[in-house]
A = this chain, B = another copy of it.
Amino acid sequence: MLEYAAVMTTTQEENLPYDVFCKACPSRGTLEHVTGRWGSLTLGALHEGSLRFNELRRRVDGVSEKMLSQTLHALERDGLVHREAQPTNPPRVDYELTPLGHEVAERLLGLIHFVEGRMDDVLEARRRYDDARTD
């Protein structure tokens, strides 16, 4: 029993109970909310501070009202975004990151800034790839 318990501990440390590589794991859905086309930009925009719906829509250039609304619902349900409705007339609704959302957004922005910073290399690679196929 002791040996079995020791094995279990090792296994649990190495293999988290959640695994995005498994299609049935709920972590895959959350990763998609976080890294999806609009999810990543929404989290990135809210990292700068709380925003109202229309401010967010202007910042996330190209998103439709419907897609931004769906994106915000998914992120709110996952506990990454907090929606604060003020009892004013007309109602004022602010969106902000939760502490967990903030931690996710920081990692995401690390990736975003890295990609932005290496786009010259990416575009050069694309040119080489396309040239090799048109010779």
A79 touches B18 (CB 8 A): no
Asked if residues A125 and B18 are in contact (CB atoms below 8 Å), the reply is no
Within 8 A of B (CB), among A7-58: 16-23, 26-27, 30-32, 34-37, 40-41, 44-45
Chain A binding surface, main DSSP class: helix
Known: A20-B41, A41-B20. A110 touches B107 (CB 8 A): yes
Size category of the binding interface on chain A: 35 or more
Q: Are A30 and B104 also in contact (CB < 8 A) when A21-B41, A77-B129, A111-B35 are?
A: no
Least CB distance, A68 to chain B, in whole angstroms: 13
Question: When chains A and B are docked, how far (Å) is the Cα of A44 from the Cα of B20?
Answer: 10
Is A84 interfacial (CB-CB < 8 Å)?
no
Interface residues of A in 91-135 (CB under 8 A from B): 100, 103-104, 107-108, 110-119, 121-126, 128-130
